[in-house]
Amino acid sequence: MRKTLLIAAGMLLSAGAALAQQPVRPLPKVGGCPLGYYSSGNYCVPSSGGNTRGAIEKSGAGCPLGFYSSGNYCLSSPSNEREAIQKTGNACPLGWFSSGSYCVKSP
């Protein structure tokens, strides 16, 4: 029984590790910083509160699937488990799908 529980726990951890979230990291400052970030020189730096969501610079009028607008940035929604990048050209790389001006990693 214990071995079965350990195997099941390992499978859940493996499945969770496969999901990619938008990284929480400093961003180049474009106007004001998004919610959960503060200004430091020419960057917007994630706050240390632990509630900060990953963000990308906004490209065009909208944000990709799973993201919402915060000033000049798109913040990952709390339930979003996907990563997004700005689209270069007309197509996205293998394993990513198009969402407006962005490419979003497929689940």
State pLDDT tens for residues 51-70: 899 999 999 889 999 999 99
Q: Where are the beta strands (DSSP E) in 5-106?
A: 27-28, 37-40, 43-46, 55-57, 67-70, 73-76, 84-86, 96-99, 102-105
Residue 100 is encoded by which pair of tokens?
Answer: 């407006």
Interatomic CA distance for residues 46 and 68, integer angstroms: 17
Instruction: With a cut of 50, list the residues of the chain below it in pLDDT.
Output: 1-18
3-state helix, strand, coil in the chain (%, to 5): 15, 30, 55
Q: Which of 61, 58, 37 is nearest to 47 (CA)?
A: 37
pLDDT value at residue 19: 57
Which amino acid, residue 34? P
The distance of Cα 18 from the centroid of its chain, to the nearest Å, equals 14
Q: Against a cut of 0.75, is the pTM above it? A: yes
